[in-house]
Structure 1
Amino acid sequence: MNVFALISLVAFMVCFFLGNFIYHKNPKSRLNTIIALTCIFVGFLAFIEFEYRHAETFQTAFFWLKISTLWPIVPSLLLHVSLIFTKSSYLKNKLTYLLIYLPGIAISAVGLTTDLLISGASKEYWGWTYIVPADATLYNIMSLWTVVAVVLAGGICFAYYLKSYDLKKKQAKYILAGLYIPFFISLATDFMLPIVFLRVPELTMTTMTMGITLMSYGIWKYKFPALTPAIAADSIVSIMSNFFFLLDDDMRIVKVNQATMDLLGVADSELVDKPLNTVFAEDQKPLFKENPFNGDKKSITNIETMFKAKNGHLIPVFLSLSQIEIDNSQTLGIVCIGNDITDIKLAENKIKASLEEKGLLLQEIHHRVKNNLQIISSLLSLQSKYVKDKEDLELFRERQSRVRSMAFIHEQLYQSSDFTNIEFGAYVENLINYLSYSYSIDPSYINFKLDIDDVSLDINTAIPCGLIINELVTNSLKYAFPANYCKSQDNTTNLNEIYVYLHSYKKDKFILIISDNGVGLPEDINYKNNGTLGLLLVNSLVDQLDGTIELDRTNGTKFKLIFNKLEY
């Protein structure tokens, strides 16, 4: 027997088995019924394909080929499956059925009674196959109908897939696969390749069998439990720990659950047929005299409010109200579900009180640290007045600037509402102003250029970064510009400049550049190993920030640092 004919026979048997299987799983389901009919019809066409492929004579093959012109009804069935599966409202209109099936039936009728769809039979290595007539108008119409119907069916299912959840979403995935896998394969073998006069065995029936298998599997595997929505709803409402109100359109209570009665300390009869606002605190009642949706079709409204129990106790609650609609237009009632949030409110108040207490404590700590550092700075300043040696005096000044750089950070922290982070741009400006004053810098002689990003650094990063800026700017002020260095040609405008740049760099990284256009760092100084105490401190602080530092001696001195935002 021809192996290709045998494949068609297997497809026939599989389709008939699937049709019976899916139907008997749920005979009352319209979806199962239409899928079963599709299985049987495709199986019938697969049997016809088997017959004409292994036919002995031309007449026999052509007879079966003419019957195969019933194929255009298959896209109609697939479109019908998609509409039932997605519960389309179009099926309520009888005209929809006419639009679904009329094209397929009409094309099949013309194909059966004329030679406009199949004009003959041709013997190929896989058996007999059809010959497209010279005037391929009807054949092209059939092809177009197949493409339109399958694409439309797939589009409907895909839209349903995007907005559905859980079991329905999984079913939609299998139905989509069952529609599109056969479609693309048969589009290639039955339509595209014959156009370029390249004939291959038609795989439509085989791939349709695969597609129907996927659909049947999805419907069977992800079937819904056999219980009614009413039974499920009653069971859920009765055992749920949330309180529950079912309201009519006039905001009167129709049903409550046990959790509601326990919360309010009332019986069912004391609530049913009463306005919903009777359970609220006095100042909240006006909010619930009327329907809170006010014609708005918004599906859910969330409200935080206050209940009043039978004993007069006020209970903070969080409500979710959802409308029950008929045909997405008329409101039938409202479902109100919520939680007692008394414990949450108590915890919230404790947290707020604790945060306020800790905020005040942190503010006081930063204030005292700042004051202590200020005292140290003042003591150093007083002590320096008795130092006569210039080198010793410079050491006092350096220590004082380091202390002040840390004091500025704590000063900003206690003045801010955020006690863990500081706006670093403002900090750098304060530090530069202090250093300029400390070294008696004439603004006409040295110009500061600041380019600071709007970054916020925590104290763990800000202190080492501030000390680095202090050390490098201090070095520039002390050594970069000797007397009368780098004046302009007219000897009136100074070109000396110190540049400070800080910007975000990639994720949780920063780039810091401090440069001057002065005389430059001497070549014999190795800033990483045997430099000054200030440079050794800078390298230590860079390591603390898990960063890197580079030196560029071109046109003065330029330090470039890349460091991380520290996490503790």
Structure 2
Amino acid sequence: MSDIFTNLFPILVGSCVISALITYGLGTYVFAQNPSSAVNRLFLAVTLSATYWALGEFFIWYSAGYDGCLFWLKASSFWPLVFALTVHFTLAFTDHPLAQEKKHGIIFAALYLPALLFALIGLFTDLIYVVTFRSGMGYVYLPASVNPVYLAERAYCVLVIVWAVYAGISSWQRAPPGRVRHQNRLFCIGIVTVVGFGTLSGLVLPALGIYTVNFVFIGIVVFCLLIAYAVHRHGLFTLSPQTAVPDIIRTMPDGLVLADMDGRIIAANASAAEVFGVTETDLPGQSVGRFIPEAAYASIRTAVMEQGTFSDMEAAPDGREGSVVSIAGALVRDPDREPAGIVLIIRDITARKAAETALRTANQKLSLLSQLTCHDIGNDVTGLSWYLHLLSEDRMHPDADVHLSRSVEAVEKIKKHLLFSRDYQMIGVYQPVWQPLEAMIAHAASTIPNSGVAISTRVIPAEIYADPLSPKAMYNLLENALRHGGEVTAIRITTTEQADGTLALAFEDNGTGVRDEEKGKIFGYGYGKNTGFGLTFSRDILSVTDIGIRETGTAGKGARFEILIPPRAWRPIAGGEPGPDPTDNPCRGQESVEEG
């Protein structure tokens, strides 16, 4: 019988090279299909290690002398890692519980540590294989069959292969009919083929005193052909749920949290960690109530227990001020149909809620602008009609020039109202933007006729996140001081950063001020001596980004309007300096300024 294997020697050695080429090509192809998949990465590791083993076997049998054979035998000593990687891949492919990331320590201790130990023993000693000369074959390697280390290595190989075969067959039996079952069947046939050829070379032939090129590489070639067929015909690796589902969960844009019935997080993806503002590794083991208010989670648990599923429950994550999430989920049951946990899908809807708020405010602004424009144009048209009527009665009247001038003024006012409406007819279409505070104030001050009123500004260099119409709010405050402040001679604009990070922007004048009983009314629609819309309009513009406004002056000593900009709606400008401090404060001596 040994003569038969001697004649087959070239074919057997050639199978090593063929196996090396096929496994390398197949491994890189599968990895390229989905590099992020742990299963695909493990398959690449298996094929690369098999390629290493096959090439080592090839060079051993083609070595001319003792030294060459010994060198390649030692160089191939890490072949036990092929077994370890194969079993690890099988566990991952079949979605075995031990393949989970938290069980990697068990995998290392049970598979890789023994394989590495046997590899090092083979590299530095002759306790497993020895090189000897055999007539008709030259130098070959033979097992140290009576050595306990060799026997332990044999036992390790048998045990891990039995483990792999069992895991593969069990997965095949559990798989539902269809593509997944076809994939598992072909995989199991391939594994059994490799084991069969390996057993022939590793156990059967040595027992008969026949030592030749390892037949396992013929089995590896068959295995690769079956895998290639499964990839082409049944979408193995590229379509397998075992590989697709973890990737989908990991990359899905919505947060996913799996919690037990006690509310402890079992698993979560990166999107959930981003929503909660923590790292992904911080979530497992934590209580859901740490990230979602306890009252909201209690409602979630009640809804799940009563209905099985729920959706569109809004909540504000703890520690994430201003954030809003929408939560959906379902009850998870164990194989006995008993409640085992809750799966939550969490979507960050902060931007959507902000857009809804902006849209509501925009509609209010549009309605307000329409009322304001119609009201003011109506007044101007009435005045224009009256002056034109007077002119039509007596064009030679001594006041004809005055009537004509007033008519022209009324037309200019109407024109301004129409331009204002045209410029802001797209209110609400544009998102809030960062705007330099000092430039906004300067623009508002430059467009208002101050009639000799001194306007001084000392504000910190900063930008505020506000509606593009916000400069109009500052214009309205300046105009309000000139129109309703009485004998106003000075307006001072300053900023102060409060203890909670709020930036207070104050507009102070030295006029008559606002009576206490009017402070709560001046921001109401239609209240005031003119149109009654200026301050209301300003309040609504600023509220788009939660900027508030209030009056804090003292009646009889001057008005003081404070614009309160929350910390998230302003930021300093790097390298800037506060505006110049006027040497002569126009408001100095006015108690309203000092007391406000």
Shorter-chain TM-score range: 0.3 to 0.5
- Report which structure shows greater RCO (CA 8 Å, sep ≥6): 2
- Normalised by the length of structure 1, the TM-score is 0.41
